[in-house]
Structure 1
């Protein structure tokens, strides 16, 4: 039974004192028993957390009750347990690292395309329209929309440099997409800033599309940033597009190489993992510090004395 909820959300809204807000927000998340990653900046709030369904309902209502986040939209999934091991609430310069501090989506960003409209566009594939994936390689390698243009980037902060390769699309209608929508707010704004005139974005990203449009024509699985790593999305015409790094056979099972010095994040089938005992190559398998392969390909970092209250100025103790 799925008693837990997984929330994915963001909101671009001015936070005058991010450090003070972080302090209060961190403490409230602890009181509600939430785990996950939350980023706070002067430009807004970005998070993905898990918790008991009732506690997540309380959290969502309290965030929405704050006038700064009244129009925030939560993408809600279910899970049988927590999808995170820890809670981290941090202040950073941007709520998504884009190296575009001067781009303000509150002032200019691409218009929204709702999931059902996007589904129709995917079906029709009009010649004057291109679908642009603004995610990183390891994300779109495991799953992407049919006929989408992908970029060879390791991190979203590399996106501005890659825009130079898209000059030939300036006369097209460009629709960007990402996991939950946050990257597209800045990506579409930057494209407009660079002279692209007809720029739009999939509202709510892949996750909202999966909820409202059954994920149709999303090929592969959706990469998510929690312990699940990937999740099924397409309920209409699913297919596997990624291949096992070792065997070359179709596989959408994402793992890390058992060699901690490599730690390559790749698709690897159970068959492929058996060949080098969880490693991506024979060379890696011979490293004396190879981690024991338990069949999962997931290597949880040690807690190293993790204290959920670390960073709080108020030395609060657990109730």
Structure 2
């Protein structure tokens, strides 16, 4: 049995003391020895944390003890080691940036698409009156997506509102949205409803829950995740690999960051091209004077820069 877990979760819930709660939340996470990334905003909480089984259990108890987060659903993965190096807990304006000039235009606590459980989603995806809409970014759906899904040419979810006009052609269809864990669909489906789409659904718990409860059927490729693992297997029924090396086109699931820190492009690259280019995305980046040493992983830990002490004037 593995001794560590990684928890993926979110909860839209109005928080009045967001900044103060963020500081207290970080202190508690540190007391448990957790690692991960947590975002807290006035609209709720969004996080992925990792630690020992005991620490994760204590953290889940802590979340549920706060009445504001009773609706939280944890997606739990058993892992061999923590999925992060440090713990970050930050207060921001939104837990997922909507890209809207007025984020209050939508409120996921009041109206979203109909939630479909994995088995219901699996039953509907082949129907003629349905479209499957991937609301994630390019690098995510290039790694893996549902069969026949409509994907969007966006680099960040904040670009989603700009795609509404392109999606208008599907207003007479049942629109089934999905994302990694469900959080983006809450806002995407809410916005679609606001913009006149009548029949909008979302995959409850996202791709991760679908993999655990429906075997990941018809999800092609791997699922991108926002921790050191970078991607996880989802489909145990009819798996295929769809991602390809950005340099030579060879099928690969390996995703890296360009070794040139001024580029830092996030892309898929096979091992052969990785070693040939020293982890760079192109020949120009390979010869960049600040290129980082490549160890075959393409993962680089951010090293804090020393802060110069202030000089007090006499």
Provide the TM-score with structure 1 as the length reference.
0.92
2:113 to 110, 113, 121: 110
- Where in structure 2 are the equivalents of 1:182-261 lying within 5 Å? 182-261=183-262
2:67 matched residue in structure 1: 67
Where 1:10 maps in the other structure, the secondary structure is strand
Where 2:30 maps in the other structure, the secondary structure is helix
Where 1:93 maps in the other structure, the secondary structure is coil
Q: Distance in 2 between matches of 1:305 and 1:112?
A: 48
Where 2:110 maps in the other structure, the secondary structure is coil
Q: Distance in 1 between matches of 2:117 and 2:64?
A: 22
Structure 1 residue 305: Cα displacement: 6.8
Unpaired stretches in structure 2, ≥5 consecutive residues: 308-314
2:166 matched residue in structure 1: 165
1:309 matched residue in structure 2: none
- Where in structure 2 are the equivalents of 1:83-98 lying within 5 Å? 83-98=83-98
Q: Distance in 2 between matches of 1:240 and 1:62?
A: 39
Aligned-residue RMSD, C-alpha: 1.3
Q: Distance in 2 between matches of 1:257 and 1:62?
A: 38
1:23 aligns with 2:23: yes
Report the number of matched residues: 304
Structure 1 residue 216: Cα displacement: 1.3
Q: Distance in 2 between matches of 1:69 and 1:279?
A: 43
Unpaired stretches in structure 1, ≥5 consecutive residues: 307-319
Where 2:177 maps in the other structure, the secondary structure is strand
The C-alpha deviation readout for 1:276-299, integer Å capped at 9, x for no partner, is 222122222122221111111111
Q: Distance in 2 between matches of 1:186 and 1:246?
A: 35
Q: Distance in 1 between matches of 2:214 and 2:85?
A: 31
Q: Distance in 2 between matches of 1:223 and 1:24?
A: 30
Where 1:141 maps in the other structure, the secondary structure is helix
2:301 matched residue in structure 1: 300
- Where in structure 2 are the equivalents of 1:272-287 lying within 5 Å? 272-287=273-288
2:311 matched residue in structure 1: none
* Deviation >3 Å, runs of 4+: 303-306
Structure 1 residue 275: Cα displacement: 2.1
Structure 1 residue 139: Cα displacement: 0.5
Provide the TM-score with structure 2 as the length reference.
0.94
The C-alpha deviation readout for 1:202-257, integer Å capped at 9, x for no partner, is 00001111111111111111000001111111111111111111111111100112
Where 1:48 maps in the other structure, the secondary structure is strand
2:35 matched residue in structure 1: 35
CA gap 1:256/1:193 in 2 versus in 1, 3 angstroms: same
Structure 1 residue 127: Cα displacement: 1.1
Q: Distance in 2 between matches of 1:109 and 1:155?
A: 20
Q: Distance in 2 between matches of 1:110 and 1:92?
A: 25
Where 1:226 maps in the other structure, the secondary structure is coil
CA gap 1:106/1:239 in 2 versus in 1, 3 angstroms: same
